Amino acid sequence: MKPNSKKRKMDKRQEWFQLLQEIGCIACLNDLQVRSDPDIHHILHANRRIDDFHTIPLCPSHHREGIKNDIAVSRHPWKKEFEKRYGTEMELLEQVRKLADELRKNRIGGRHAKG
């Protein structure tokens, strides 16, 4: 791999993670129409991370706090209940990718568009 291609891959990963931070928890957005600061959740296949681009933003409550009540369900350890309530991880990823594309369209030259 050429040194510049490794740097571009790192830049794309950093940009993706920044977009996830801007979107906020996708479960909070869909369920409560609020933005919550997210963790980055890696989607697994055969109990292994796919890559850094198969990730969705989830707040700690929806990600890893082990909650399962009327208000929220954590992805860890309640994957089946989480997906029943919020959609599959792949469905959420598709939604996140669309939201990220919208954010990118609102930027000019890497900076936020001024309205």
Domains of the chain listed by start with CATH number: 22-107 (3.30.40.190)
The predicted pLDDT at position 3 comes to: 58
**Rounded Cα distance, 73 and 97, in Å:** 22
The predicted pLDDT at position 113 comes to: 47
The predicted pLDDT at position 63 comes to: 98
Non-local (6+) Cβ contacts of 20 within 8 A are 38, 40, 55, 56, 57, 96, 100
The predicted pLDDT at position 115 comes to: 43
The predicted pLDDT at position 75 comes to: 97
pLDDT per position in the chain (115 positions), as tens? 555 666 666 699 999 999 999 999 999 999 999 999 999 999 999 999 999 999 999 999 999 999 999 999 999 999 999 999 999 999 999 999 999 999 999 986 555 544 4
The predicted pLDDT at position 61 comes to: 97
This prediction's pTM = 0.85
